[in-house]
Structure 1
């Protein structure tokens, strides 16, 4: 019979350790819940593969050979490693011996609205949890980063795109508001005429020079003059404070980035839109990643 080391499997290695620990083929069969002929056949198979008797008779028991004594610790460690492969590692944020390093892809809107509460939560944990944040420029960009493993997680506008390997969870809804410096406006830009007559700042992320607001105005036969275009929300307040320039931005920025500015409704019907978190399916069962997703979801639900 032709045999080689690749004929070894979990059952044969487990059978070896059971005989080794019990010192008896009969006791090993009882412990494994099989018949003695099955254990004897497996032992014969092991002897052929390893090229050593492994166990010899010693009265009513069997005694390990010198080679069996030598390989027993290796087999024990190997079996434990095989068992570990079938277990999802746990993560306890309050255990100082645990650690997790996360890379999240998002833009400065999410940095302002979601991440402050997340950082407070991470800092309250006893585990060594570290966060790295990378900017993303749209769905195609963050999907590629998730697939490559350059980011573990993404928070962005909810997309209708479906990717078999990318999981998504809706977080919260958002709407647009007009922001302006009240010291430089006699009246709020809350009518279409006043809105279109004003100078505007807009945020365009990435290379795409398209604005849903401009598209909506165009559909009604109107337009606006863009006096300022930037790539981040955080740059808007310093640039329009003390001017007549207005900005149409997500409403939740009123609580952070745009604090101190007056606001009014956008004068056209602009549909609410959602934000979601995304992750690659390879991280779906990872305990630390599951904990992070649950924390982000909890924070998002607290936004109302």
Structure 2
């Protein structure tokens, strides 16, 4: 019968280690909850595969051979590793001995709107949880970074793209509002004519150079005069304060970086859009990652 090392499996290695620890075939059978003939048959297979007796009789017990003593530590480590393949590492946020490090991909909107609520939740945990936030310029880069492990997680605009190895969960809906410095506008430019006649600032993240608002206006045969284009939401407030420039931005920024500005509804039809969290499927069952995802979801539910 041809037998090689590939015939070794978890059960045979566990059987070897149990006999080694118990010093008895009978005791090993009892511990494994199998019959003694099953253990004896398994031991015989091990002897043929490894090419060594492994155990010899010593009175009413068995004693390991020199080769069995040599390989036992390696087998123990190997079994621990194999068990780890199917075990989800525990994470208890109430245990100060537990810790987790996460790299989250998020741009300044998500940092301003979602992360404050998230940080309050994380700081209520006793575990040592630390976040690093990096900006992600576009869906393609987000997917690449999730795949190669540059980031563990991402929070961004809900994308219609389908990626089999990237999981997502919807968080909340958002709509656009117009912001302006009330000291420089006697009347809010809240009609389509006044809106198009006003000076505008717009935010363009990444390499994009066309916005959906401009596309809608173009379809109506209209246009707006953009006098300022910036790559982040955070820079808008300081740049338009004290001017007559208006900015069309996500509505929830009114509670953070756009506080103190006048605001009005966008005078054209613009659909609501969603935000979602994304992660790679390799982290789906990880206990710490599952906990973080639940905290992000709860924080987003509290945004109203």
TM-score bracket for this pair, using the shorter chain length: over 0.9
Partners of 1:70 and 1:138 in 2: how far apart?
54
- State the match for 1:120 in structure 2: 120
Partner of 2:39: 39
SS at match of 2:239: helix
Query: Counterpart in 2 of 1:89?
Result: 89
- 2:255 equivalent in structure 1: 255
Return the offset for 1:71.
Answer: 4.0
- Structure 1's consecutive aligned runs of 4 or more residues displaced over 4 angstroms after TM superposition are 1-6
| Alignment match, 2:205 | 205
Aligned counterparts of 1:47 and 1:298: Cα–Cα separation in 2: 56
Cα separation, 2, equivalents of 1:180 and 1:30: 79
- Bigger drift between 113-122 and 286-295 goes to 113-122
Distance in structure 2 (CA, Å) of the matches to 1:159 and 1:146: 15
Could you tell me which runs of 5 or more consecutive residues in structure 1 were left unpaired when the two chains were aligned: none
| Higher mean displacement: 100-109 or 237-246 | 100-109
3-state SS of 1:233 partner: coil
Q: Distance in 2 between matches of 1:221 and 1:22?
A: 86
Equivalent residue number for residue 264 of structure 1: 264
Q: Offset at 1:22?
A: 3.7
Say which is worse superposed, 5-14 or 272-281, in terms of deviation: 5-14
> Which residue pairs with 1:146 in the alignment?
146
Q: Tell me by how many angstroms 1:56 deviates.
A: 2.4
Structure 1 range deviating more: 24-33 or 218-227: 24-33
CA contact (8 A) 1:146 1:152 kept: yes
Deviates more, 1:34-43 or 1:253-262: 34-43
Residues 1-304 of structure 1 mapped to structure 2, 5 A cutoff: 3-304=3-304
TM-score by length of 1: 0.92
For 1:77 and 1:2, the matched residues in 2 are separated by 28
Output one character per residue of 1:4-25: Cα deviation in whole Å (capped at 9) or x when no partner: 5444322222222332344332
**SS of structure 2 residue aligned to 1:147:** helix
**For 1:19, what is the secondary structure of its paired residue?**
helix
Deviates more, 1:179-188 or 1:147-156: 147-156
Q: Distance in 1 between matches of 2:16 and 2:106?
A: 53
Contact 1:195 1:267 in 2 (8 A): yes
Q: Secondary structure at the match of 2:260?
A: coil
Contact 1:178 1:189 (C-alpha < 8 Å) held by counterparts: no
CA positional deviation for 1:66: 4.6
Structure 1 residue 240, shift from structure 2 partner: 0.6
Which string of whole-angstrom CA distances, capped at 9 and with x for unpartnered residues, describes residues 63-121 of structure 1?
A: 33454445444433432332222101111223222222111112111110011122223
SS in 2 for 1:177: strand
Deviation at 1:207, TM superposition (A): 1.0
Task: Give the secondary-structure state (helix, strand or coil) at the position aligned to 2:237.
Answer: helix
Native 8 Å contact 2:199 2:245 kept in 1: yes
Q: Say whether the 8 Å CA contact 2:121–2:299 is kept in structure 1.
A: no
User: Helix, strand or coil: the match of 1:264?
Assistant: strand
Maintained 8 Å contact 2:23/2:61:
yes
Identify the range of structure 1 (216-225 vs 174-183) with the bigger mean alpha-carbon deviation.
216-225
The alpha-carbon deviation at position 180 of structure 1 amounts to 0.5
More displaced 10-residue stretch of structure 1: 274-283 or 76-85: 76-85
